[in-house]
């Protein structure tokens, strides 16, 4: 088999595995709380970190290039200040989830 055939094979196996995991997990989830907070199995610290990671991923992937294109080097100030906002957001989220 050449490299292209191996690539298609591994892609098909990966998709099959992801669909299988999805069907398995679908049977375990009964309510929205099961999906969003894992039925409270994780503490507020880990949920806040997951929230911060999701937000940071989207902001850096979409927002940073757009701001840099429009504003140039001045847009880099947001990259330096963003971690401060994330840490403050984590602290606020931990407080809200704990109550």
Query: How many structural domains are present in the chain?
Result: 2
What number is the average pLDDT over the span 74-79?
79
CB atoms inside a 10 Å sphere around CB 91: 11
Q: Pick the more confident residue, 14 or 87.
A: 14
Q: Pick the more confident residue, 22 or 50.
A: 22
How confident is the model at residue 10, as a pLDDT?
97
Report how far residue 38's alpha carbon sits from residue 29's, in angstroms, rounded to the nearest whole number: 9
DSSP 12: H
Task: Indicate whether 74 and 49 sit together in one domain.
Answer: yes
Share of the chain above pLDDT 70, in %: 96
Task: Indicate whether 46 and 68 sit together in one domain.
Answer: yes
* Domain boundaries, position 2: 1-30
Residues 6+ apart with CB under 8 A from 89: 48, 51, 52, 55
pLDDT digits (tens, 9 = 90+) for 5-46: 999 999 999 999 999 999 998 888 877 777 766 777 777 788
Task: Indicate whether 25 and 36 sit together in one domain.
Answer: no
Task: Indicate whether 39 and 82 sit together in one domain.
Answer: yes
Report how far residue 99's alpha carbon sits from residue 91's, in angstroms, rounded to the nearest whole number: 13
Task: Indicate whether 51 and 94 sit together in one domain.
Answer: yes
CB 97 within 8 A of CB 47: yes
CB 67 within 8 A of CB 78: yes
pTM of the model: 0.44
């Amino acid at each position: 088999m050449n490299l292209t055939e191996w690539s298609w094979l591994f892609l098909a196996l990966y998709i099959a595995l992801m669909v299988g995991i999805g069907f398995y997990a679908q049977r375990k989830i009964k309510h929205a709380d099961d999906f969003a907070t894992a039925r409270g199995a994780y503490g507020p610290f880990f949920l806040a970190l997951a929230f911060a990671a999701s937000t940071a991923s989207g902001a850096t992937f979409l927002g940073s290039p757009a701001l840099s294109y429009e504003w140039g080097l001045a847009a880099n100030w947001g990259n330096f200040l963003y971690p401060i906002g994330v840490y403050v957001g984590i602290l606020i989220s931990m407080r809200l989830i704990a109550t």
